[in-house]
Amino acid sequence: SDLQKQEERGELLQPLIFVLLVLCSVLLYFKVSLMDPGFVKPEEEEGENKGQGVVIPQIPGDMKLRRCGYCLVKQPMRAKHCQLCQHCVRRYDHHCPWLENCVGERNHPLFIAYLSVQLVVLLWGGHVAWSGLYFEQSWEWLQHNIFLLVSFLLIFIFTIVVLLLLVSHLYLISCNTTTWEFMSHHRISYLRHSELENPFDQGIILNLWRFFC
């Protein structure tokens, strides 16, 4: 049959890989959006979680853990209260409206994986859409190709957005800083009072290693 001939020629491999990438992207989306991003537990549970977070070097000696004014837990260094999630989040990066969840200590690496897979899917889809476009200056051509043209434009826009997000996050990770710390450096006490511009920076290689490994 035609299907068997296509399989023998390897023509079914690329569509299968594309479908698997899309499935992986969807699974990562739900995983990141539904998982605990690193909510700070009440004080009585702190002992159980001690030592699980990322090691934080060069903390200013006069800085003390402060109690959150909303959920009344002691905030670890780099934690922030998210009013949308109603929790303090360890190594808070940002609250993502697409995920309806915070990006924090626990799900930040998976968030980067999700962006990476999504970028591959968008680039692949954009290539397929572009390869199907044969431009002609006629109204009839536009009528027959309007859906494909709109699809390509949407894919192009989303690709730019995802690419910028991924590049910016990788840059911040390589500096061992978060989006919140980068945007609000002047308002964060442990950064404002630190002698170093970024007291958590240990070099690009070690920063990336600690984050991903």
Which sequence positions are flagged as catalytic?
96
Closest CA to 89 of 106, 112, 72: 106
Q: In sequence order, which residues have a C-beta less than 8 Å from that of residue 151 and are 6 or more positions away?
A: 129
Element (H, E) at 82: strand 80-82
3-state helix, strand, coil in the chain (%, to 5): 55, 5, 40
| Residues 133/145, Cβ–Cβ less than 8 Å | yes
| Residue written as token pair 């959150």 | 68
Segment 103-108 long-range contacts (CB within 8 Å, at least 24 positions apart): 103/32, 103/37, 104/37, 104/38, 104/39, 105/37, 105/38, 105/53, 105/54, 106/35, 106/36, 106/37, 106/38, 107/31, 107/32, 107/35, 107/36, 107/37, 107/38, 108/37, 108/211
